[in-house]
Amino acid sequence: MTFLKLSASASLAALTLALAAPSHAQSETDDSVDDGSPIVVTGLRQAYRGNFEDLEIPQAEQIIDNETLVEFGAEDLVSALDLSASVARQNNFGGLWNAFSVRGFSGDINLPSGFLVNGFNAGRGFGGPRDIAGIESVEVLKGPRSALFGRGEPGGTVNIVTKRPEFATTGYIQGTIGSWEQYRIEGDIQTTLGSNDELGIRLVGFFEDAESFRKTVETERFGLYPSLTWKIGEDTRATYELEYTRQDIPFDRGVAFTEEFGFTPRRTFVGEPGDGPIETEVLGHQFELQHDFSDNWSLLTGIGFRETSLVGNASETNFEGRQTLFEDGRTLSRFFRFRDFDSEYLVLRAELAGEFNTGTLRHRLLIGADYDRFDNSLFIQRFRPGFFPAGTDISTLDPAEYLFLDVFNPVYGQFPQPVPGPNTDREEVLKGFGFYFQDQIDLTDRLQIRLGGRFDDFKQDLTNLRATPATTTTTSDTRFSPQVGAVYRVDDGISIYASYGEGFRQQTGSDFQGNQFDPNITESAEIGIKADLGTYFTGVNGAVTLTAFQVEQSNILVNDDRPEAVAAGFFSIPAGEARSRGIELDANLAFDSGLSIWFSYAYTDAEFTNSNPDADFGALIEDGDPLINSPDHQLSLLVSQSFSIAEVPAQLGGGVLHVGERLGWTGFDFFLPDYTTVRLFGEIEPVEGLALRFDVDNLFNETFYTNSFADVWVQPGAPRRFRFTASYSF
C-alpha cells in the first residue's frame, strides 16, 4: 500500500476515533442542527453535489465563476481550464476537440476528454471545442468521482454550469475585434413571462469569424443556447435548455520538430487549404425537474440527449519513415484522410437528496440512479505513401505521392487531392446503468465523515463494418466504486480533510480476440487543509486550499506484444500502470479595496510504474517514464484592481501562466520546453451600461508550444495578440 494511501487511511482513522469521543454531538433539539442551508427552490440544484459548504467537502475543488472567466479573457473551455494548475493541455486532435488532463491523467488521448454539463455526461462526441458563451462557471472537481458521477476521467471531473434563467429582465450584447481579422458578436438576454413571472426565458448566442497567425487558417463558429425555467408551483421547477453549435475549423496538426533542424515555422500551416474545413455540429437537449418535499428533502430528475458530427478532409504530417523533413529540414511530406464521425448520447437520471437525524447524528444523504447510452460511429478513409530508408535522396521520390510542402515557402494546391482507400469503419454502442449513494454524517459539531459508493453495470457492442460480413462483439462488466472521507472543522474558518476513492473509465475498442478492454481502474487518496480567510481578516473574502494527493491507475492501454496478438496485427492490451502524486495550492481572494487575486500552483510527478510497449507506436515505455504533456510545475496567477477615474468605473489587471517542461511523445525522448506567458487587460465604463475593454495576450511575444502527440504533431501557441471589446448591458 502506498504512503499517501496509508496517510489518508490513518488520518481518517485518527479523526474518527480520537475526535468522536468528546461530547459535542448535536441533539435533535440543538439549534445548530438547522444551521445548514435548507434546499430551497431558487434554482435547480446541481446533481451529485449535495448541500455542503466548501469547508465540509473532503476533496479539493475549484469553482471558476463567470467574473473570473471574463477577467481572464477565456474564449473556450480549454483556455478557461488554464486557470487551474491541476489541469494540463493535451493533444486536441488538430484543434477539433477539448483535450486536457487532471493531475497528470488524460484518459484516452485519441478521444475528446470527458466532461459534464450540469452534471450530465457530455464530453464524448465530436462537436468541436466548447465555446465560452453560455457558460456560467467551470468546476474542477479533483480526484476520481466515480462513486457518484460514474464513468469518468481518472484524475478528476470537469463540470460546466450553463447560463440559465434567473427570473430577471437583463442582458448584454458585445462585439470584439482582434488580431488576425477576428470578429465576434455575443449576446445574452433574459426576461420573464406570466401573470406571476413564473416562466423565465434566457437566450445566449454568438457568432465568430477569425483568421489566425497560421497562414490560410480561418475559422467560422456559431452557437445558440436558449433555455426556459417554469415555476410549476411553490415547490416544483422545470428547466429545459438547448445547445446548438456549428463550427468550420481547418484540421491543423501544428508544427514538426527534428533534432537536427528544430521546429518548423509556427506561422506555416502544414495542411492543405483546398481540403476545406472540418465541419463539426452539435445539437443537445437537457430537461430537469426538481420537486421539494420539504425544506430538507428534494427530488431531481433529468434527461439529456446530444447528437454530434464531424466530417471533412485533411492533409496531415507524416511520421519518421515516411517524413522527408528529417532529410533536409525543409521539405515536409504529408498523407491524406477523410473522416465522417457521428455520435448520439442519451442520459437519464434521478436523485433524492435530504437530511435527517439518527439519535445525535445528523445525516445528509444522496441516493440516485442513472442510465446512459453512447452510440459512436467512425468512418475513415486514408491515402498514405510508402516507407523509405533514412538517407534517401528525396529528389528521387514522387512529390505528388508524398504531398511535398516547403515549410519556409509554402505553395499550396500543387498536387491533385489523393483518392483515399478504406481505413476504419466501426460502430460502437456503450450502455451503462448506475446506482449510487453518499451519506455525510456529523459525528460531532466539528467532525464529519463521508461514506459512499456506486454500482455500475455496463455493456459494449462493437461492430466492424469492414469485415465481410460485418461482425459484432458484445461484452459486459460490473464495477463497484467506493469512497470514504473525513472533515474536521478546527474552527469556523479552517477544516482539515482526508479522503480515499476508487474510480474507473470505460475504454473503447477491443483486443485481438474482439473482447472489450477492461476499464481503467483508479485509486486516489488526498489530504488537505482549507481556510476561509474572511473568518479571520476584515476586508477580504475568499478561500485557500492546500492539498497533497496520490493517484494510481491500472489497465492503461499498451501494445500487445504477445506472439498470437502480433500475428493478428497491431493490437492493444490493458496492462499499463502509472502513478501521479503531488501538491496543490489554490487561492481565490477578493478584497474590499477592489483587489482580486486568483492563484493556482501544482507540483505533479506523473509517471509510468511498469514497462510496456506504447499502444500507438510500439516504442518501449520504461518504468519511471513521465506521462505525456504533464508538467512537473504549473502556475496560474490572475490579479485585477477595480477603481474609479473621475467617478468613472475602471479596472486593470493581468495574469501569468507558467507551464514546465513536459514529455511530448510517449515512449520517446522528446520534450516540449517550458514557457511563461503574460497577459494584461483594462476596462472602463464611460457611461452606465457601456463597457470598453482591451486585452493583450502573450505580452512579451513568447514562442511556446502547448501540447503534442508526437514530434511531428506539435501545437504552437499564438504570438502577441490584441483584442478590443465593447459591450452594452441593460
Cα 171 to Cα 21, 135, 186, distances in angstroms: 54, 15, 11
For residues 293 and 340, give the distance between their C-alpha atoms in angstroms, rounded to a whole number.
48
Q: 248 pLDDT band (50/70/90 cuts)?
A: very high
Mean predicted confidence (pLDDT) in 477-498: 95
DSSP-derived secondary structure letter, 41: B
CB atoms inside a 10 Å sphere around CB 216: 16
pLDDT score at 7: 42
Per-residue confidence (pLDDT) for residue 1, from 0 to 100? 41
What are phi and psi for residue 127, nearest 5 degrees? -85, 5
pLDDT in tens, 341-399: 999 999 999 999 999 999 999 999 999 999 999 999 999 999 999 999 999 999 999 99
3-state secondary structure at position 666: coil
Which pLDDT score is estimated for 691?
Answer: 97
What pairs with residue 455 in β-bridges?
435, 480
Cα–Cα nearest to 575, from 555, 561, 559: 555
Q: Residue 632, Cβ neighbours under 10 Å: how many?
A: 16
Q: Cα separation of 132 and 199, whole Å? A: 25
Torsion angle, alpha carbons of 567, 571, 577, 578, to 10: 130
Residue 488 pLDDT level (bands cut at 50, 70, 90): very high
Residue 648, Cβ density class (10 Å: 0-12 exposed, 13-18 middle, ≥19 buried): exposed
Q: What is the pLDDT of residue 254?
A: 96
Instruction: Give the integer Cα–Cα distance in Å for 454 and 481.
Output: 5
Top-confidence residue, 156 or 243:
243
The reported pLDDT for the residue numbered 421 is 96
β strands within 571-720, DSSP E? 572-591, 595-608, 612-613, 620-621, 633-645, 648-659, 662-663, 671-672, 675-687, 690-697, 705-710, 713-716
pLDDT above 90 for 155: no
Higher-scoring residue by pLDDT: 151, 305: 305
**pTM metric for this prediction:** 0.91
* Averaged pLDDT for residues 42-51: 72
DSSP conformation class of 570? S
> Does residue 716 register a pLDDT over 70?
yes
Q: What is the mean pLDDT of residues 247-266?
A: 95
Q: Using an 8 Å Cβ cutoff, are 708 and 672 in contact?
A: yes
- Strand ranges in 465-571 using DSSP code E only, listed in sequence order: 471-489, 494-505, 520-532, 540-559
Q: Is 478 left (phi over 0), alpha (psi -120 to 50) or beta?
A: beta
| pLDDT (0 to 100) of residue 125 | 85
Whether the CB-CB separation of 250 and 219 falls below 8 Å is answered with yes
